């Protein structure tokens, strides 16, 4: 049934009156609840309405000490869903209740302090401008445990500067991504409301000049997303300070270039892409090389961090030293399981790239080395701090295509039994000896066929069980070294094979540096190509340090037992093998004239293991275990004549 026009017009007029009235009632109720949440004794004599604001006349908040002729309450939302977000009274006192429950206190000067539940303190002053649309314009200084900021705010937006900021204001959260743990200063602009959007420029990191662009978005739940992009040339000072802190005392000079981009999504995922270049990089550290290294380096990586699951990953990475490139992936976890997995590879690394990329300071006696062809390698390292025995290392190298065009170190004379080769040895007592490596020039040189048959099993049991199977390097040795070092939390065991030990003794000094280790790797690879296993073992047995000015097992046999190497018993040979890691340290046994019980047990263990592996027959093992060590007139000063 159609309503009469008069009734329809009356209904429209009634709704026109009731809807605003109802909206005002909802708004009054919302404002009243919010003000009474601040002070339950709050009162006012009247209410006036404006666009986006409510004016409370003769307002009094005795619990806070505030009394004002007028108190403006800024609101957001439509009438039926209005939300009071800010109160401004006479004298410019400010109250903001947008994010958390706070307490308001008013200073004698009419300013206001906003005390947050996190004990952050914000000071503000300002005025309200009225017009066809009531809005707030004010400036404020914010200061708290997170840092400080000077902001100018108007119509839902703000601009300003911030100083020494270490966290997200009013949230208790630290800065995201690579800025965590650092302080930043700069300028910003943004909008406020249910969602805050901020963009700006970081001009200082930890007090050092920088240039980094950032954006951030936050709501009631905290930081929702953020991005950071920087040019490393604009943050060279903080970047170098960070590099210094990570390199443990190395002296580094460089001019970094490149870029870093970081994107944070919510609280549980951060993604990054970075490219860092050092065109002139100088590094000095005693453990690396005796001289300052000068080179060029480049690093690219792309990955992410998952804070909730405590994981970091690099799914695409590449490091380049001069022209040699190595690709990598990386996975790190912490908290529930502290692990790191690193995978390195290059399927076509050329010899020219290798020799042109290794700095001269690392080459040492190999300076001028020229390589050709190429090699293919892949290596995987797993470190497990919670379960060290799960740590692992594996490597696959195909060097068949790699060739030596020229080397300053020659192995041709070493290969020949009468080639006239010699080496200079220096012991830990400071004695030096030049030893000829053939019988023509050294009547005391013991050829392989004259070495006792039980010598190799005992030596390999103690030093290199896979000597006859590897090509100079042993994954087993490296793996066990890593596990022992992880268990002890320090370096306690090396991973050198007999071939590596011989390469070091023949060509290198005693310094423990990265440079020496790199040279040792090349020389070992080269030596395994030139010398047979028998020749390697033969030279090793004739030059290794075993006492003060005592080199080789034949001299040691005379020095400790007054007999030749070929005449040593199994137990006597096992003893000499047992002191190889530290002849000077264990020399005290001979000085005392007897072995302590724990070292007798170690010698027994070497012999027993050889028996269990089938390297020594049962009768020989039984006889050796029943034998005793007797030092026969060992001379403690000077050498032994051949």
User: Encoding tokens for residue 194?
Assistant: 């249910």
Residue 285 — pLDDT band, cuts 50, 70, 90? confident
Lookup result for tokens 């000015």: 549
Residue 137: CA atoms inside 13 Å, Cβ hemisphere, count?
5
User: End of a domain among 142, 175, 206?
Assistant: 142
Task: Give the pLDDT score at 314.
Answer: 94
In a domain, 256, yes or no: no
Most confident of 6-15, 270-279, 526-535: 526-535
In a domain, 230, yes or no: no
Q: Distance between CA 425 and CA 268 in Å, rounded?
A: 59
Q: What is the CATH number of the domain that holds 577?
A: 1.10.3810.10
Q: Work out the angle between the directed axes of helices 533-543 and 553-561 (0-180°, nearest 10).
A: 40
Q: Are residues 438 and 577 in the same domain?
A: yes
In a domain, 164, yes or no: no
CB 262 within 8 A of CB 228: yes
Query: Across 385-533, where does the E strand assignment appear?
Result: 392-398, 402-406, 422-426, 432-436
Segment 550-564 shows an average pLDDT of: 94
Residue 4 above 50 pLDDT?
A: no
Residue 266 above 70 pLDDT?
A: no
Q: Are residues 393 and 374 in the same domain?
A: yes
Q: Are residues 431 and 579 in the same domain?
A: yes
- Give SS3 for 368: coil
Q: Are residues 434 and 402 in the same domain?
A: no
User: End of a domain among 408, 424, 441?
Assistant: 408
Q: Are residues 404 and 456 in the same domain?
A: no
Q: Are strands 103-106 and 94-96 parallel, antiparallel or unpaired?
A: unpaired
Q: What is the DSSP annotation of 200-233?
A: EEEEEETTEEEEEEEEEEEETTEEEEEEEEEEGG
221 CB-near residues (< 8 Å, 6+ apart)? none
Domains in the chain, number: 3
Q: Distance between CA 486 and CA 105 in Å, rounded?
A: 56
In a domain, 374, yes or no: yes
- Give SS3 for 619: helix
Q: Distance between CA 457 and CA 289 in Å, rounded?
A: 36
Q: Distance between CA 306 and CA 312 in Å, rounded?
A: 6
Q: Are residues 441 and 562 in the same domain?
A: yes
Residue 303 above 60 pLDDT?
A: yes
344 CB-near residues (< 8 Å, 6+ apart)? 326, 327, 328, 377, 378, 379, 380, 381
Task: Give the pLDDT score at 53.
Answer: 62
User: End of a domain among 142, 170, 190?
Assistant: 142
Q: Are residues 455 and 582 in the same domain?
A: yes
Residue 479 — pLDDT band, cuts 50, 70, 90? confident
Q: Are residues 388 and 429 in the same domain?
A: no
Q: Are residues 365 and 451 in the same domain?
A: no
> 235 or 550, which is more confident?
550
Q: Are residues 416 and 384 in the same domain?
A: no
In a domain, 362, yes or no: yes
Q: Are residues 9 and 136 in the same domain?
A: yes
Least confident of 89-93, 351-355, 434-438, 511-515: 89-93
140 CB-near residues (< 8 Å, 6+ apart)? 94, 122, 123, 124, 125, 126, 150, 151, 153
Burial class (CB in 10 A: 0-12, 13-18, 19+), 292: middle
Most confident of 129-138, 187-196, 506-515, 534-543: 534-543
Q: Are residues 381 and 436 in the same domain?
A: no
Structural domain span for residue 387? 286-408
Q: Report the predicted TM-score, pTM, of the whole model to 2 decimal places.
A: 0.69
User: Encoding tokens for residue 66?
Assistant: 């505030």
């Amino acid at each position: 049934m159609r309503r009469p026009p008069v009734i329809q017009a009356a209904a429209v007029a009634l709704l026109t009156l009731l809807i605003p009235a109802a909206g005002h009632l909802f708004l009054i109720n919302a404002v009243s609840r919010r003000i009474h949440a601040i002070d339950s004794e709050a009162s006012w004599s009247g209410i006036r309405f404006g666009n986006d604001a409510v004016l409370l006349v003769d307002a009094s908040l005795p619990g806070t000490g505030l009394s004002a002729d007028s108190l403006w309450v800024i609101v957001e939302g439509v009438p039926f869903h209005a939300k009071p977000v800010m109160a401004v009274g006479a004298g410019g006192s400010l109250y903001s209740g947008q994010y958390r429950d706070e307490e308001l206190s008013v200073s004698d000067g009419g300013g206001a302090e906003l005390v947050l539940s996190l004990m952050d303190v914000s000071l503000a002053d300002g005025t309200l401008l009225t017009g066809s649309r009531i809005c707030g314009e004010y400036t404020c200084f914010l200061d708290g445990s997170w840092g400080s900021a000077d902001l100018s705010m108007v119509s839902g937006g703000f601009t300003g500067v911030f100083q020494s900021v270490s966290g997200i204001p009013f949230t208790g959260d630290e800065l995201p991504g690579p800025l965590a743990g650092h302080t930043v200063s700069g300028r910003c602009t943004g909008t406020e409301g249910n969602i805050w959007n901020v963009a700006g420029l970081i001009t200082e990191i930890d007090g050092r000049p920088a240039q980094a662009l950032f954006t951030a978005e936050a709501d009631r739940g905290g930081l929702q997303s953020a991005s950071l992009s920087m040019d490393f040339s604009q943050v060279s000072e903080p970047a170098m300070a960070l590099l210094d802190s990570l390199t443990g005392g190395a002296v580094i000079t460089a001019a970094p270039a490149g870029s870093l981009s970081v994107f944070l999504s919510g609280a549980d995922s951060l993604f990054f892409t970075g490219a860092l270049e050092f065109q002139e990089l100088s590094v000095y550290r005693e453990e690396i090389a005796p001289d300052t290294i000068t080179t060029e380096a480049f690093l690219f990586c792309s990955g992410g961090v998952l804070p909730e699951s405590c994981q970091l990953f690099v799914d695409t990475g590449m490091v380049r030293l001069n022209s040699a490139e190595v690709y990598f992936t990386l996975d790190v976890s912490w908290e529930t399981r502290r692990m790191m997995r690193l995978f390195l590879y290059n399927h076509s690394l050329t010899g020219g790239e290798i020799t042109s990329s290794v700095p001269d300071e690392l080459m040492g006696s190999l300076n001028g080395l020229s390589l050709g062809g190429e090699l293919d390698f892949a290596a995987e390292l797993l470190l497990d701090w919670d379960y060290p025995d799960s740590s692992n290392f594996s490597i696959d190298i195909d060097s068949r295509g790699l060739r030596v065009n020229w080397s300053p170190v020659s192995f041709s004379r070493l290969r020949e039994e009468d080639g006239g080769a010699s080496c200079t040895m220096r012991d830990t007592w400071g004695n030096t000896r030049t030893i000829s490596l053939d019988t023509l020039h050294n009547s005391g040189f013991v050829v392989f066929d004259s070495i006792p048959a039980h010598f190799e099993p005992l030596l390999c049991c103690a030093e290199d069980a896979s000597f006859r199977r590897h090509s100079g390097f042993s994954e087993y040795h490296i793996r066990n070294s890593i596990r022992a070092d992880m268990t002890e939390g320090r370096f306690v065991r090396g991973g050198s094979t007999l071939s590596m030990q011989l390469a070091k003794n023949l060509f290198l000094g005693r310094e423990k540096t990265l440079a020496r280790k790199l040279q040792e790797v090349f020389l070992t690879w080269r030596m395994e190509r030139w010398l047979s296993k028998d020749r390697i073992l033969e030279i090793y047995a004739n030059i290794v340090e075993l006492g003060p000015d005592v080199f080789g097992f034949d001299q040691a046999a005379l020095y400790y037992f007054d007999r030749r190497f070929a005449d040593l018993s199994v137990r006597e040979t096992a003893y000499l093998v047992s002191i190889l890691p530290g002849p000077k340290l264990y020399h005290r046994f001979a000085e005392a004239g007897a072995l302590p019980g724990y070292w007798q047990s170690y010698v027994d263990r070497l012999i027993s293991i050889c028996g269990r592996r089938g390297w020594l027959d049962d009768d020989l093992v039984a006889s050796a275990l029943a034998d005793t060590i007797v030092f026969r007139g060992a001379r403690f000063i000077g050498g032994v004549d051949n």
